[in-house]
Structure 1
Amino acid sequence: MDPHLLRTYVAVARLASFSAAARELGYTQSAVSQHIAALEQDLGTPLLTRRPVTPTRAGERLLEHAGPLLLRLDAARAEVAALAGAADEGLTLAAAPTALTPRTLQALPPTGVTLRVLPRADVPEAVATGAAHLGLVDGLAAPNDPLRLADVAPLTAHGAGQEPVRVLLPAGHPLARRTGLRLGDLADARWLDAPGAGLPLRQLRSAHGTGGFRPALRYEGTDVRTLTALAAAGHGLVLLPESAAAAPGTVAVPLTEPRVVHRTELVHAGALRGPAAAFAARLDVTRSGIVARRHAG
C-alpha cells in the first residue's frame, strides 16, 4: 500500500472534500481523485462515496489503521534521521502544561532550547515523529506507578517526578475551609473540563472508579493561568498538581482519597544523545521513579 495514497485518502476523509484535500496537500483535484482511485483499485473495494464524500464501511476500517501506520512511518523516518546525524544540535522539548513543574523547568539548559507546550495527548506523537527530541507527559497515578501512555510508536519512558494533587476552589466555596477532600464527595460537583491544561476528567473518573464529574465549562486551551482564573470565577472545580494550584481568589485543598499523585514522565525515541541526554541527566530520571520502560507501539 503506497503511503502517499494513504495520506491523500486520510485527508479526503477528514475534510469530506476532494477539493479541500487538494488545497491542503498542494495537489490538483484531479491528482487527488487519481490517488483515491488507485488506492481503491489496489485494495479492490470502494473507500468513499462521492455525494456526499463519506467513508464506506471498508473506508472506515482503513481509517482505523491509517493513523497508526502513518505515524509509525514518520517515527521510523525521524529515528533514522537522528541516527544519521540529520537532527539539529539543539533541544526541542514538547511538554504538557502541567508537566512543566519547577523541577523540570530548573533542569532546562540555559541556551539552545525550544519549548513546545502541547495538549498532553499530542506530546508522544511529537516525539515519535521527530518534531521534538524529548517529551514531558503527566497524569494521575498511584504513588510510584507508571502512567498509562498510548502506544503511538516505540518510545521509552522514564519517571521524572511526582507530587501531591489539590482541588482548586473559589475562595468563597463551601468546601474551601476543609483540610482535605475525598474525590468521591466531589463526583456531583461542577467541574472545569480542560484536557489540554488540567488533569482530564476521564482520569478523575478512572481514579474514582465510577462516572460523575460532569463538566460545567470546557476550556480547550493550554494556559494554566487561564484555567485557574476560570476556577476563581466560579465556573467549576479543577484538579491540579500542588505546584500549579495557586491563583488569586482560589483555595487549593489537598486530595486525601484516593491516594494518587501527579506523575511526570520523560519520553523519547531511540537512545538519548547530546542535549537530550544532558537534560535527562540534570533531571536525574534514574532516581525519579520506575525503571525506564519501552512502549512497543
Structure 2
Amino acid sequence: MLHPHWLETFVALAETGSFTRAADKRSLTQAAVSQHVRQLEQALGPLLIRRPRGIELTPAGHALLGYCAEMEQAGHRLQCWLSDTEPTRGELTLITPGSIGLALYPLLLDLQAAHPGLRVRHRFGPDSEVLESVLSRSAELGLMTYRPEDARLAASAFVEEPLELVLPRGAVADCWEDLVALGFIDHPDGQAMATRLLSRHFPGNPGVGGLPQHGYVNQIGLILEPVARGLGFTVLPRYARQAFAQAEAVRATECAVPVMDTLWFVHRAEWSLTARAEHAMAYLRERMPGALAAGL
C-alpha cells in the first residue's frame, strides 16, 4: 500500500524540483524526503532521475503524479458528497431527458448565479441513461418519463408534459393527407411519440411508417429547425417547443385526446439526498409552471 505521506512528499518534490525545497514545503528533513521516495521506488520502480540542477521524472514518475492528482480529485468529490449540510454549496449532479432539460437548465443557472458556492453538473440523456447514472451514483438526481419499478430507486412526480403535433407556422393538419403532404421530421423518439399521439389525433391512420420522411435530427435543440423552415412536421414534448428560439415560426395543434407524460424525480432510495439536491428539487418545483406537489 502506498502511504499517503509518501505520495504527498513525492508531489512536493515534483512541484519544487528539489529535495531541499520539498523538505521545506513538507516540514521534513531531506533524509525523510529521500526515505519516502525510496519506499515508493521499492514498490513502483525508478520514479526520478537525479541531476546536478534538479530532478527529472521518469515515465513511471509521471504516471504516479497523475495518480496523485486523481486521488486528490477523488478526495474533493468525496468531500462534496459528504458536505450535504449546506444546501447552496458543493456540486449538484442531475441528468434529464432533453425536452425537460431545455426548460430546467436556465432555472439551474439562475440558482447557481444566486449561490456562487454551488456547482451544477447537468447532463442530457434518455431514460435508460438516467436510470444507469442514478444507480451508479454518477448523478444524484435524475428525471424519467416513467416511474421506475427498481426497488433501489425512490421516485416522486414532478410535472406533466403533453406531446404535441408541431407544424410550420401557417400549415394545417386537418386530415392524414395533410401530414403526408408536409412530411415527417424524425428524431430518436420520433416514431414512438408520433405513433402514440397520431393514433389519438387521427384514429385508424395507416401508421407513421408510411409517412414520407423529410429529415432526421438527433439534437433536441435543433429538431424544430426544419419544421420552422417549412420542411415538415414532427411530434415533440411541449417543453422542447417552448424552449425553441424561433417559437413564432412553428405552431402546435390541439389534440382532442391529449397524450400526457408524467416526469419523475428519481434518486437512490438507500441513501438520503444531500441538502443541495433537496434544495434544488424544492426550487424547481416552485419555479416550474405546472409542477406537481411533492409527495405525489
TM (norm. structure 2) is 0.51
Match of 1:122 in 2: 129
Match of 2:160 in 1: 162
Shift of 1:229: 0.7
5+ residue gaps, structure 1: 1-80, 139-147, 176-180
Larger-Rg structure: 2
RMSD: 4.3
Match of 1:289 in 2: 292
Shift of 1:185: 8.7
Q: How does 1:183-202 map to 2 (within 5 A)?
A: 190-195=183-188, 200-201=193-194
Q: Is the 8 A contact 1:134 1:276 kept in 2?
A: yes
Match of 2:171 in 1: 173
Check if 1:224 corresponds to 2:217.
no
Q: Give me the whole-angstrom Cα distance separating, in 1, the residues matched to 2:247 and 2:222.
A: 12
**SS at structure 2 position matched to 1:257:** coil
Q: Give me the whole-angstrom Cα distance separating, in 1, the residues matched to 2:258 and 2:176.
A: 10
Judged with a 3 Å threshold, the aligned counterparts in structure 2 of structure 1 residues 279 and 169 are, in CA distance, closer, same or farther, namely: same
Q: Deviations over 1:24-53 (max 9, x none)?
A: xxxxxxxxxxxxxxxxxxxxxxxxxxxxxx
Judged with a 3 Å threshold, the aligned counterparts in structure 2 of structure 1 residues 93 and 283 are, in CA distance, closer, same or farther, namely: same
Amino acid at match of 2:169: A
Match of 1:47 in 2: none
**SS at structure 2 position matched to 1:284:** helix
Q: Give me the whole-angstrom Cα distance separating, in 1, the residues matched to 2:151 and 2:177.
A: 35
**SS at structure 2 position matched to 1:124:** helix
Match of 2:25 in 1: none
**SS at structure 1 position matched to 2:131:** helix
Judged with a 3 Å threshold, the aligned counterparts in structure 2 of structure 1 residues 201 and 254 are, in CA distance, closer, same or farther, namely: closer
Match of 2:249 in 1: 250
Amino acid at match of 2:277: A
Q: Is the 8 A contact 1:217 1:236 kept in 2?
A: yes
Q: How does 1:129-148 map to 2 (within 5 A)?
A: 129-138=136-145, 148=146
Judged with a 3 Å threshold, the aligned counterparts in structure 2 of structure 1 residues 190 and 248 are, in CA distance, closer, same or farther, namely: same
Judged with a 3 Å threshold, the aligned counterparts in structure 2 of structure 1 residues 184 and 160 are, in CA distance, closer, same or farther, namely: farther
Shift of 1:197: 8.4
Amino acid at match of 2:158: A
Q: Deviations over 1:201-241 (max 9, x none)?
A: 454367678772236156462x3331011223444322234
Q: How many residues align?
A: 196
Shift of 1:277: 1.2
Q: Is the 8 A contact 1:165 1:242 kept in 2?
A: yes
5+ residue gaps, structure 2: 1-77, 113-117
Match of 1:63 in 2: none
Q: For structure 1, which segment, 93-102 or 192-201, has the greater mean C-alpha deviation from structure 2 after superposition?
A: 192-201
Shift of 1:167: 2.1
Identity, in percent, stands at 23
Q: Give me the whole-angstrom Cα distance separating, in 1, the residues matched to 2:138 and 2:190.
A: 21
Q: How does 1:72-151 map to 2 (within 5 A)?
A: 85=82, 89-100=90-101, 102=103, 105-106=106-107, 109-110=111-112, 111-138=118-145, 148-149=146-147, 151=149
**SS at structure 1 position matched to 2:224:** helix
Match of 1:178 in 2: none
Q: Give me the whole-angstrom Cα distance separating, in 2, the residues matched to 1:153 and 1:263.
A: 19
Q: How does 1:267-282 map to 2 (within 5 A)?
A: 267-270=266-269, 271-282=272-283
Shift of 1:263: 3.5
Q: Give me the whole-angstrom Cα distance separating, in 2, the residues matched to 1:163 and 1:256.
A: 14
TM (norm. structure 1) is 0.51
Judged with a 3 Å threshold, the aligned counterparts in structure 2 of structure 1 residues 220 and 240 are, in CA distance, closer, same or farther, namely: closer
Judged with a 3 Å threshold, the aligned counterparts in structure 2 of structure 1 residues 186 and 288 are, in CA distance, closer, same or farther, namely: same
Shift of 1:191: 2.7
Amino acid at match of 1:135: G
Q: Deviations over 1:245-297 (max 9, x none)?
A: 24367321233221333533211112322211111121238x9437758xxxx
Shift of 1:114: 0.6
Shift of 1:189: 7.0
**SS at structure 2 position matched to 1:256:** coil
Q: Deviations over 1:150-200 (max 9, x none)?
A: 54662222221224543221235343xxxxx79999699733331368983
